[in-house]
Amino acid sequence: MNEVDKIISNYEDLRESSSNNLSKLLNFGKLAGTGKLIIYPVDQGFEHGPDRSFSINPDAYDPHYHINFAIESGMSAFAAPLGMIESGYKTYENKIPFILKCNSSNSLTSIKDQAITGSVEDALRLKCIGVGFTIYPGSDYNYKLIQQACDLFREAKNAGLITVLWSYARGSMSKKGETAINIISYAAHMACLCGAHIVKVKLPTSFLEEDPTKDVFIKNKLKIDSPVDRVRLIKKSCFNGKRIVVFSGGEAKTDNDILNEVKAINEGGGNGSIVGRNCFQRKKNDALSLINQMFSIYKS
């Protein structure tokens, strides 16, 4: 059994069409067949605004720039909100798998919530392989978001799509707590319980948030000292490694910082990265060079 078949065998709920779409994702781009993924997401225009996101690289105002970059660089898939995929899906049809991001936030409000901006019907119309959604465990709106995610995923699976869940802690914890290992582990497991085929979380730190989960980390002497240890624990929390887990590229970083994170993800058994602004906020050639180095690590 090859690596892709091993991964797919962990998903006992998959209909044939969903299995085909997951196989398409895992067999596309420069990491095809490795069980690793690098997905290129461009939802930052919603989350942070176009000028804050793209003015450093004016070409990035054009949706075609992003889709073309994802194809040229050899990414596994392109994930974006409705309008961005609509703007280029005919031009780039069958050239890269599309994942429709179906809810979005924005920085014009401090409310930790998301608006539904896409549907399964949209994803099918745009010939996407799957849908993506964000939940905010810990926010005042987390129960509503979880219910919406489960409703969307149920419909998506019936339609033969795969599901990706961004699980980002927000709200009740400290700012450091949003990337604390005990909080990220909890958020990742919640994503699995919502039925996500692919879980997306931030790379956790060794910080332990004041929470009922903190004591068990200490009492059971869970290994969290190194980034590799923490990636292993997140994978374990995702059904003992039976779910695909990819890690956010996060805020702008140096090449060295990103590559060190990728090494930890790879060594810890993570399935890859979702990296957006650390590509399009660089000059194109610099971004391509960075991505190629990431590919080399994930192939090693």
Question: Which residues are identified as catalytic?
Answer: 200
CA of residue 46 relative to chain centroid, distance: 16
Residues 6+ apart with CB under 8 A from 233: 181, 185, 222, 223, 224
Q: Are 131 and 99 in contact (CB under 8 A)?
A: yes
Which candidate, 195, 206, 101, places its Cα nearest to that of 154? 195
Question: Left if phi > 0, otherwise alpha if psi is -120 to 50, otherwise beta: which for 253?
Answer: beta
Q: Which two tokens stand for residue 190?
A: 């919640």
CA distance 134 to 156: 15
Burial of 255 (0-12, 13-18, 19+ CB in 10 A): middle
Which candidate, 164, 182, 219, 199, places its Cα nearest to that of 271? 199
Q: Are 132 and 166 in contact (CB under 8 A)?
A: yes
Q: Which two tokens stand for residue 84?
A: 């961005």
Indicate the pairing of strand 115-116 with strand 130-135: unpaired
Q: What is the residue type of 30?
A: K
CA distance 131 to 164: 6
